[in-house]
Every structure is written in structure tokens, then in C-alpha cells.
């Protein structure tokens, strides 16, 4: 039997045993091997550990980079809260203890862990270049957390590597291996092109809602196109062909963003004065 097909069958069978939940943002049915409480607790611990081993710059230091990351992230957070209020599900964010940090690194990257734990690397800022483009990235990463993309990947890895053990059991029996599963699921310490945290459909989904949150925050969503053009140029000669990667190519991502731009602007964009 094809290995991937075997995993898929195992996941479907196991899902029937433990049940599924519906995600409030995407309305998709999702495997619930890992409880939200377990994920939030592990995320908080991993986040603190990450910050303790990396150079964090704060707004109080007078850093313009940190000020920009905090300013933009706070507006995206406000937009997310508005969106969930508008769809009548503000309680979905009750367990979110939002936190924003800027980390000194040459890597052009950003991520958001469960519970709203955001990190932006300084190496990303020369490519974003402005608040609107930074909002596109932060909105995208926040969507990954809201849509439980990392949690679903972690469910899959627990099934594949630990035989479907619940997270609480795995933490007790194999704490180091479980931490590695968590790090891999959320892309912590992973190198682009080696282990990628999210699949193409997850990326397109994050693009879609990230664009909506950017517009709701009062930033021009058209800047997403400019940003990904700059990212494409920065990745020139480095990125793998799309069929070798779980990520969509920059060109395909740009085309997808273009296709949803007019509707997003008309429905959500009101420039802040």
C-alpha cells in the first residue's frame, strides 16, 4: 500500500474513533487528537523557550523595527477580533493571550503559534518595506494559528510517529520526541526547503484570510502583490519548483491573491486616516 495512502486511511479511521471538530474560521471539520488546552499549554512553553534562546528587541529600546512589528500586529489583532465579533463567535478567541515579539535574525520569516504568540524576524523587514506589506505577512501567520493548521499537522505526526498517542500521554512518555513533533508542526527551527510546516492548501487559506485581516486593519491589501513580487525576487535561484515543495510558488500565490483582491477590497477595506 502507498505510504501516504496508508496514513490517510489511518487518519480517517482514527478520526472516526476520537471525533472531529469544526473550525470557526474555515468551517472545516478537523481531527481532534490534540486538545486545545494541551496545544495552548505546549505553545506557551515553547514560545518562552524560543524567546529565551534568541535575541529579542523591544519597543522600549527605541527600535523602529520593533515599533513597526508591534504597531502592525496590534492592528491585525484588532481586525481579527472584529472579524470574529462580526461572525458572532468572539468567544473563539477567549483563550488567546496575544503576544508580539521581534527577533534579530537574517532569516526572512515570521510565525504565530496557538494562542496568538507572534514572532517577526528582522530579516523579513527589508522585504516587507512598509506597514501594509508587514500586515499581509502577520495576517497570514495569524491565520495559520486561527485555522489550526499547525495543530492538524501535529495530529498527523502524532499518528505517524507516536502511534496516535494523545499529546498528554506522549509528553509523559516521550517528552523530547513530542517537543520535536511540536517544533516541526509549527516550523520552529525548520529550514526552508527541508521541512516545511504547512501544505499548499493551508498556505492559500492563510493568504485568503490574511488578506481579509489586512484590509480590516485598514491597510491596502494590494500591497500583498508587491510584497510577494519582492519575495519572489529575493528567492530568485533559491526556491524549489512548486511540484517539489508543499508551498505554492510565488507566481501561483500572486495569481491566487489577484483573483480574490477585488472582492476583498470591496467588502473589507476601509483605509484608516
As a whole number of angstroms, the distance between CA 77 and CA 75 comes to 5
CB count in 10 Å sphere of residue 174: 15
Q: How far is CA 83 from CA 34, 103, 215, in A?
A: 26, 28, 11
Residue 93: count of CB within 10 angstroms of its CB: 18
**Residue 119: phi, psi to the nearest 5?**
-135, 135
Which residues have CB under 8 Å from 238's CB, separation 6+? 193
Cite the active site residues. Answer: 141
Rg (CA), the chain: 18
Amino acid at each position: 500500500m502507498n505510504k501516504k495512502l496508508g496514513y490517510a486511511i489511518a487518519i480517517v479511521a482514527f478520526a472516526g474513533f476520537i471525533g472531529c471538530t469544526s473550525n470557526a474560521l474555515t468551517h472545516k471539520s478537523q481531527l481532534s487528537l490534540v486538545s486545545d488546552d494541551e496545544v495552548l499549554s505546549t505553545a506557551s512553553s515553547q514560545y518562552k523557550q524560543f524567546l529565551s534562546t534568541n535575541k529579542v528587541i523591544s519597543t522600549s529600546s527605541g527600535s523602529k523595527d520593533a515599533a513597526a512589528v508591534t504597531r502592525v500586529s496590534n492592528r491585525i489583532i484588532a481586525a481579527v477580533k472584529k472579524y470574529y465579533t462580526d461572525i458572532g463567535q468572539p468567544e473563539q478567541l477567549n483563550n488567546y493571550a496575544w503576544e508580539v515579539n521581534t527577533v534579530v535574525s537574517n532569516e526572512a520569516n515570521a510565525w504565530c503559534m496557538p494562542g496568538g504568540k507572534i514572532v517577526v524576524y528582522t530579516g523579513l523587514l527589508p522585504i516587507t518595506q512598509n506597514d501594509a506589506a508587514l500586515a499581509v505577512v502577520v495576517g497570514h501567520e495569524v491565520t495559520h494559528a486561527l485555522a489550526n493548521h499547525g495543530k492538524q499537522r501535529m495530529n498527523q505526526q502524532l499518528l505517524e510517529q507516536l502511534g496516535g498517542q494523545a499529546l498528554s500521554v506522549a509528553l509523559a512518555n516521550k517528552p523530547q520526541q513530542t517537543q520535536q513533533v511540536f517544533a516541526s508542526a509549527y516550523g520552529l527551527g525548520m529550514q526552508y526547503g527541508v521541512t516545511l510546516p504547512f501544505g499548499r492548501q493551508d498556505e492559500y487559506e492563510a493568504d485568503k484570510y490574511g488578506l481579509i485581516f489586512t484590509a480590516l486593519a485598514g491597510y491596502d491589501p494590494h500591497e500583498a502583490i508587491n510584497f510577494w513580487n519582492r519575495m519572489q525576487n529575493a528567492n530568485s535561484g533559491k526556491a524549489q519548483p512548486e511540484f517539489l515543495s508543499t508551498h505554492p510558488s510565488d507566481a501561483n500565490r500572486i495569481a491566487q491573491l489577484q483573483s480574490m483582491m477585488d472582492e476583498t477590497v470591496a467588502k473589507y477595506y476601509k483605509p484608516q486616516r
